[in-house]
Every structure is written in C-alpha cells, then in structure tokens.
C-alpha cells in the first residue's frame, strides 16, 4: 500500500465553525496523518498523508466541511510524503 500526501487549502466560511477539530477527528478515525491550521487570510490549510483511499476521503470531506461551514473553494496539491503518522491541529 503506497503512501500519498496532499496539501489542501479551503476557502469560504471555514474559521470559527470547528473545521479544524472536526477535521482532526475525521482524519484520526480514517487513519490519516498530517495536520490542519487556520491561515491569516481566513482560509484553512491541511496536510493529509496515508493510503490513497484515506487521503481522498479527507480531500472530499474538505469540500463540505463540518456543519456550519460554507466551503467556496478547495485547492489540492500533490506532495511528497513526509512521514506524518498522526494527525494534529497546528
């Protein structure tokens, strides 16, 4: 099973709606490592690393976000795996 990584930047009403905490819980239950953080520009940035199915599930989750979020755009960039095995909020 190959490990892949994706950097995701989510635009919209995504801060102040428990995006990071919910993302951490979903990623942990999915078995994906990485991190999520708020950016100064109002967007949320995340790094997902793991098996293809888990990472793709997290990217799909970012397109919706938690209840209360209004996602208007998602940028996804493939990255080289960095060895992230657990998920955390930065």
- Look up 86 and say whether it is catalytic: no
Catalytic entry in 6, 37, 38, 63: 38
Catalytic entry in 6, 20, 43, 57: 20
- Look up 20 and say whether it is catalytic: yes
Q: What does the DSSP assignment read for 16-63?
A: SSSHHHHHHHHHHHHT-EEEEEE-TTS-EEEEEEEEHHHHHHHHHHHT
Q: How far apart (Å, rounded) are the C-alpha atoms in residues 60 and 43?
A: 17
Active-site residue numbers? 20, 38
């Amino acid at each position: 099973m190959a490990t892949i990584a994706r950097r995701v930047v989510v635009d919209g009403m995504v801060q102040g709606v428990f995006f990071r905490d919910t993302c951490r819980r979903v990623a942990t239950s999915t078995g994906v490592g990485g991190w999520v953080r708020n950016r100064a520009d109002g967007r949320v940035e995340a790094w997902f690393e793991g098996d293809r199915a888990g990472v793709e599930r997290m990217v799909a989750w970012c397109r919706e976000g938690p209840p209360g979020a209004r996602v208007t755009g998602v940028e996804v960039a493939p990255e080289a795996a960095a060895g992230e095995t657990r998920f955390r909020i930065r």
